[in-house]
Structure formats: structure tokens, C-alpha cells
Amino acid sequence: ASHHRLWSEIDNVVKQQVAWARLGVGESGTGWQLFAEDGEMRMYRREEEVDGMVVDPLKAVHIVKGITGHEVCHYFFSPQYRYDWETTLEQMTVLETISEDTCLFLQTHKRIWPASQRDVIFWSHLRHLPNDQDRDGPDIWTVVNHSTEHKDYPANAGKCVRIYLTVCMLCQTRVNPPKDGAPISRDDISCKITYCSVVNPGGWAPASVLRAVYKREYPKFLKRFTAYVTNQTKDKSIMF
Ligand SMILES: CCCCCc1ccc(-c2ccc(S(=O)(=O)CCO)cc2)cc1CCc1ccccn1
């Protein structure tokens, strides 16, 4: 693809995020704390503060039957579906479509009492990392969202506090080919999702409020989003 102005930053951040996402949460001694569980979904966080602000890294692992990593990343990346699954979204603007797999978003999220309302500007990049180079390597689809600036939308100029985030949705598709050589159906596929996020909430917000918001909102978000993809794809041919 023709390289654009953000290309080198995107390439570096994507490589770093893929490596980070592929690190397991290790044994319990590695500081990852399981804080939510639902069926195959496990959500972990590390309690970290920067200048007294909560910036807890989050890592979720989920296995969803009947969908592929390409489908998960397609519905996560594409702006036209976002209002269907992102419940805390108040306003989303595509500031720039940089290429067919790279967009610039401005989002304002609904105010969560008692904190002030937040907004965020980030580039979003969809990438397929095929496993052709190393035979048994995993075939990965990923979307990385990473905060950036935009000259027309300076931080904290209006009513919203600007937040800063890096998010990685990393997916690996598993196929159990049917014994009798029949064509692969949705019963023969599943997707292992690793969702990582680090959010700097910008202006000060009480640690207890932030941790309560994340504890409530992140499990809800991942469950709702994956259910949305399942529902959107169930009667469609498989997008590998
Ligand atoms: C006092 C509240 C402070 C901040 C709240 C906050 C922070 C970050 C975000 C958020 C989380 C995920 C993404 S994304 O994965 O890129 C998907 C595209 O939308 C972008 C933004 C949202 C919200 C608002 C509350 C909240 C917390 C988690 C999950 C959902 N909502």
C-alpha cells in the first residue's frame, strides 16, 4: 500500500501491540488480576497509576464459536457499525479516511457521573498478518487504535476532557475441518480474541470511580460486541 504520513508510527505501534497481546497473562504472580469472567471470556487488569491517575492496563481473552478473526476486525474497524455495539458512544466523526484500512476518528463518550465528559482522537488501523512466512505461525487479524492529535480539535478546548488510549483487538481463527471432507461451516470455526487497552483518562478522575467504570463497562462492551458480530454474520458466508 502507498505509505502515508502516519505509516511509520502505525507500523511501530502495531508491531509493539501484537507482541504485547501475544504475551499471555502468565501465572498469577505476574501482576495480572482476573477481575471478570463470563463463559469463555476472562478479563484481567494491572493496577497502575501515573501522576496519581489510574492508567490500569487491561487484557481480555475470549473464545467465540462460529466467527473468524477477519469478521471480528471488520466489524470493530468499520465506522458504519459502531453505534450498534458501542453503548457509551455519544458522537463519532471520521476525521479522515487515510486508506482503506486506516481511519482517523473523533469520539465523544457519554458523561459518567461524577466525572466530566471525555473525548478522544485516534487513528485506527486494520491489518492481516498471514502466517505464510513461518509455516506453523498463527494467522492473525488485528485492529489497533492509538491516540493522536488533530489541528482542528485541540485537547480540552471545549466541554470534554481529552483521553489518551492504545487499544489492540487481536484475533486468531481456529478451524476444525469436518471429518467427511464437507465444506467448512460456522460449526467448524472459532476465534480466539485478545483485547488489550491502556487508557489515560486525561484530567483527574477519582480512582474508585474509574475502576468501577472499567469493571462495569469493559465486560459489557466485549460481550455485546462479540454477540453483535455473531448476529451480523450468522446468515452470511464465512469471511476468512
Ligand atoms: C470517567 C470515565 C473516564 C473514561 C471513560 C472511557 C475511556 C475509554 C473508553 C474507550 C474504550 C474503548 C475504546 S475502543 O476499544 O477503541 C472501541 C471504539 O470505541 C474507545 C474508548 C470509553 C470510556 C467510556 C466508558 C467505557 C469504558 C470502557 C469501555 C467502554 N466504555
Residue 78: predicted pLDDT: 98
Among 92, 118, 166, residue to substitute to test ligand 1 (most atoms within 8 Å of Cβ): 118
Ligand 1 centroid to Cα of residue 165, in Å, is 9
Mutate to test the pocket of ligand 1, among 216, 221, 222 (most ligand atoms within 8 A of CB): 221
Q: Is the CB of 205 under 6 A from ligand 1?
A: yes
Bridging pattern class, strands 118-129 and 161-162: parallel
Higher pLDDT, 135 or 186: 186
Query: Does position 51 have pLDDT exceeding 90, yes or no?
Result: no
Tell me whether strands 164-175 and 161-162 are parallel, antiparallel or unpaired: unpaired
Judge if the beta carbon of residue 202 lies within 6 A of ligand 1: no
- Give per-residue pLDDT as tens, 82-141: 999 999 999 999 999 999 999 999 999 999 988 999 999 999 999 999 887 655 677 899
pLDDT at 52 (0 to 100): 87
Got the DSSP string for 158-180?
SSSEE-EEEEEEEEEEEE---TT
pLDDT at 37 over 80: yes
pLDDT classification of 231: cutoffs 50, 70, 90:
very high
pLDDT digits (tens, 9 = 90+) for 57-66: 999 999 999 9
Judged against a pLDDT cut of 90, whether residue 22 lies above it is answered with yes
